Structure 1
């Protein structure tokens, strides 16, 4: 049986979750993944809820308990996560083209680790490319602050 578009999308999103989960050695409550594509610009980033604290990938060690070993948050490791996420996002775009689907301009994924549950929101309208000051990092930061405040 041949794969459907949704199968490829699911596999690529699962890979994004897996690499982000590996980064924190499977020790997070929630993973929040941000993907963006607006003409000729891809963006990918991630933040976490660890021990009830919402933290950026470079600050995950601020959320660990005394008894826990610290995470490797080296620049090389962070770049590796981002590179894999971007590669997966580019592959999603390629599959959208192959299957004649619109490429989302934004994908926000929330993975609940304990429940093994992934929820994704997709947008198709341009968000930042028509704004002279707004960048993908700004949208990511807004979402991070929104989740942090609601915690």
Structure 2
């Protein structure tokens, strides 16, 4: 029988997998931000391609001239976000079922070349207690932080 950790890991792997599908397996690193606070679910994702950090709608900005362009249609982006959202909901159900704390924030980093996977979690409220910031603001801050530090 599968244990909590196995199912939790599979759901995280699914988030990475759908992001890899979106980028046609042509990224060096994948970054996924997943948030669940007070029943508000939010997510975002971005990539490192050819030494450039790019958000999903700007994938083609990172390509070299000879590389085939990506389909960055809004429909495809929403498809990815919907699947990540479903995975977050499944993690929430899993945590309830096993009586575990649900992370309010998950930051997932997958290094395609090495196969290295890193995840960090927060369990405190990150933005719902803030009058101004939203989950999107937090995700944008993480993107800038990673980009500026050349993670």
TM-score range, shorter chain: over 0.9
Cα distance in 2 for residues equivalent to 1:90 and 1:83: 11
Please report the TM-score for the alignment, with normalisation by the length of structure 2: 0.98
Q: Secondary structure at the match of 1:48?
A: strand
Q: Secondary structure at the match of 1:146?
A: helix
Alignment of 1:58-77 (within 5 A): 58-77=57-76
Unaligned runs of 5+ in 1: none
CA offset at residue 40 of structure 1?
1.5
Q: Secondary structure at the match of 1:72?
A: coil
Please report the TM-score for the alignment, with normalisation by the length of structure 1: 0.98
Q: For residue 96 of structure 2, what is the aligned residue in structure 1? A: 97
Q: Secondary structure at the match of 2:129?
A: coil
Cα distance in 2 for residues equivalent to 1:40 and 1:25: 32
Q: For residue 51 of structure 1, what is the aligned residue in structure 2? A: 50
Cα distance in 2 for residues equivalent to 1:128 and 1:102: 18
For residues 26-60 of structure 1, give each alpha carbon's deviation from its aligned partner in whole angstroms, at most 9, with x where no partner exists.
Answer: 01111110000100200111000000000111101
Cα distance in 1 for residues equivalent to 2:11 and 2:23: 19
For residues 40-94 of structure 1, give each alpha carbon's deviation from its aligned partner in whole angstroms, at most 9, with x where no partner exists.
Answer: 2001110000000001111011001111111110010000000000000100000
Cα distance in 2 for residues equivalent to 1:116 and 1:18: 12
Q: For residue 113 of structure 1, what is the aligned residue in structure 2? A: 112
Unaligned runs of 5+ in 2: none
Cα distance in 1 for residues equivalent to 2:42 and 2:117: 20
Q: Secondary structure at the match of 2:106?
A: strand
Alignment of 1:1-150 (within 5 A): 2-150=1-149
CA offset at residue 117 of structure 1?
1.3
